[in-house]
Amino acid sequence: ALGNLVGLQPFYEAMGIGASVPWILLWAGVLLPVVAFGFSMVLWSRWLGFAERLAIMVVAWAVVAGMSLSLAAIEQAWRSAALQAVAG
C-alpha cells in the first residue's frame, strides 16, 4: 500500500493522467490495515482464549486482504476510465 501511495502518481503522470490519481483509494489502502489491526487489538483484549484471539487475527487479516484486492480492482477501473476520458 505504501508503494502504491508513493509510486502511483509518477505512473499516472507518465501515462498523461497525473491529475486523476485516486488519492482516496490510496489512503484507504494505507489506513485499512492500521484500522483493522487496532480494532482487532480492542477485540483481542476482551477474550482470553488462544483460539479466540487467533480467530480474531485471522478474520482481521482476511478482511484486509479482501478489501485490498477490492481497492486494487477499483483503482484499475478508475485508471481505465481516466485513460478513456483522455483518449476521447
- Local structure of 46: helix, strand or coil: coil
Q: Which helix (H) or strand (E) holds 74?
A: helix 50-87
10 pLDDT band, cuts 50/70/90, is very high
Q: What mean pLDDT is reported for the chain?
A: 89
Task: Tell whether pTM > 0.85.
Answer: no
pLDDT digits (tens, 9 = 90+) for 17-39: 988 889 999 999 999 999 999 98
Number of domains, the chain: 1
For residue 54, the enclosing domain spans: 2-87
Cβ neighbours of residue 71 under 8 Å, at least 6 residues apart?
25, 28, 29, 32
Cβ neighbours of residue 85 under 8 Å, at least 6 residues apart?
20
